[in-house]
Amino acid sequence: MADRVSSSVDKSQNSVTISYLSQREAVEIQDLLTGTLGFSIDQLMELEGLSVAASIAEVYRSSDCSRVLVICGIGNNGGDGLVAARHLCHFGFKPSVCYLDCQPKNPFTGLVTQLESLSIPFLSVEDLPRDLSKEFDIIVDAIFGVLSHGEPRRPFDGIIQRLASLNCHDHTHKRSPAIVSVDIPSGWNVDEGDVGGQGIKPDMLVSLTAPKHCAKKFGGPHHFLGGRFVPPSVAAKYKICVPAFHGTSMCARIEKTSHDDIAAQREKYVSPEFLKDHVMVNPIDKFCKWLEDAVNAGLPQPRNFALSTADKNGKPSSRMLLLRKVDQDGFVWLTNYESRKAREISENPCASLLFFWGGLNQQIWRQVRVEGTVQKTSDEESEKYFHGRPGGSQIAAIVSKQSTVIQAKHLLDQNYEELEAKFSDGSLIPRPENWGGYRLKANLVEFWQGLPSRLHDRFQYSLKEVDGKQVWHVDQLAP
């Protein structure tokens, strides 16, 4: 049998080789597991369903996306969905189940009883709301698995069409629920993928045992491996190459391969609407609220921003910096006054800042763009900022002539070590005259929040003169 294995492999960006199984190979492995290797169907469904629930919990927080519809279909794939619903309930989500092919036999009847004991509601196809977007945050597609072939029959065809239609937004600000497909996006050909191009476009795919050939056509942002039960002998026989499971995790993320089409890798925004009622009178107050949200969400380096400047000829340059302070007087950062950005600011004091917070609470994507004029902070402020830095950072500010060409890095290290020894007694490190702060005084601030179909929310504050006073005027912009 080993010489008939035709699993294809891809090399991902992080050098992890990924193999793909054909439909025939996937069926053979399932028969091996439930045959000579001694696994029961309910054991496999339990492990697979748990891995699906674990994958969902890796990406979506129950506090933000609690309403889950699990659509269960024929056979084992439907059983995986039932198990996933049970675990999602225990993980803090609020699942509902639409069981399209309820089978009056074990282990399926036992799974239904378990869900009923948790007061998980069961919905018929007729009970499903017309607009799934209003009622659910996540939809789990557990309809068809590796045994599927041919055109779906009723009622499966109708529900698959409804899920596929969620990819086609109606140019409103409605958000679509995230779709999670179990092993195979229902309606896809196991080996060839979405042949007609009109099928479900899931946001997450949880491949079980190993990805199938159709997974090469998956363009969503989240691809996970589940089913942590494959014996080494089976993995060797079918040349299964997949990412390792870490620790006690029941799922592993599969990274994009190097030849994936970048244009097809699109993030699905499901942020709540940023309504005009949410707009504050003062943009600095609104910025501080969004910055606080980013800090509380645990995003890495939430105070980082891109500073863009231009010289007297209009040639631009950008770099990432750290925000030191923000108040009604402006946005403050620290730097070397002989750096490129400092030279450009001296020639052209107009600059812009860009803050970006991606995946806030897993779902919300925000950016803030600030335009204004820049001036140096006072010597007193610069002294305070400088001596508030760690001693090593103070020494580095003296040693480094920022943006100049260096002959050898070891010379910088040598100068650093000499100064470190000089001030090892704890004496005050003097601030160099060419080091200090800048403050950008904003005259335009734009807030952006991602929404489905790229119909994002944008609100722009600009300073206008009214009765001799500068006041903030707010406009909503087209995305």
Q: Which residues are catalytic?
A: 454
Annotated ligand binding at 146? The verdict is yes
CB count within 10 Å of CB 230 equals 18
What is the rounded CA–CA span in Å between residue 229 and residue 180? 21
Annotated ligand binding at 381? The verdict is no
What is the rounded CA–CA span in Å between residue 3 and residue 238? 9
What is the rounded CA–CA span in Å between residue 296 and residue 290? 10
Annotated ligand binding at 327? The verdict is no
Sign of CA dihedral 33, 37, 40, 44: negative
Annotated ligand binding at 28? The verdict is no
| Helix, strand, or coil (residue 479) | coil
Annotated ligand binding at 258? The verdict is no
Annotated ligand binding at 317? The verdict is no
What is the rounded CA–CA span in Å between residue 430 and residue 224? 53
CA triple 192-198-202, angle to 5 deg: 75
**Element holding 404 (H helix, E strand):** none
Count of CA atoms in the C-beta half-sphere (13 A) of 266? 13
| Helix, strand, or coil (residue 49) | helix
323 close to 303: Cβ distance less than 8 angstroms? yes
Annotated ligand binding at 434? The verdict is no
2 close to 17: Cβ distance less than 8 angstroms? no
DSSP structure class, residue 4: G
Annotated ligand binding at 278? The verdict is no
CA triple 169-217-50, angle to 5 deg: 85
Annotated ligand binding at 151? The verdict is yes
Annotated ligand binding at 141? The verdict is yes
Annotated ligand binding at 78? The verdict is yes
Question: DSSP letters of 251-285?
Answer: EEEPPPBTTS-GGG------PPP--GGG--SSHHH
Q: Which residue has the tokens 């100068």?
A: 415
**Nearest of 297, 315, 355 to residue 331 by alpha carbon:** 355
Annotated ligand binding at 183? The verdict is yes
What is the rounded CA–CA span in Å between residue 164 and residue 432? 62
**φ and ψ at 398, to 5 degrees?**
-75, -45
Annotated ligand binding at 147? The verdict is yes
Sign of CA dihedral 190, 196, 198, 203: positive
Q: Which residues are annotated as a binding site?
A: 76-80, 141, 145-151, 183, 186
Q: Which residues are annotated as a binding site for K(+)?
A: 77, 141, 186
Q: Which residues are annotated as a binding site for (6S)-NADPHX?
A: 76-80, 145-151, 183
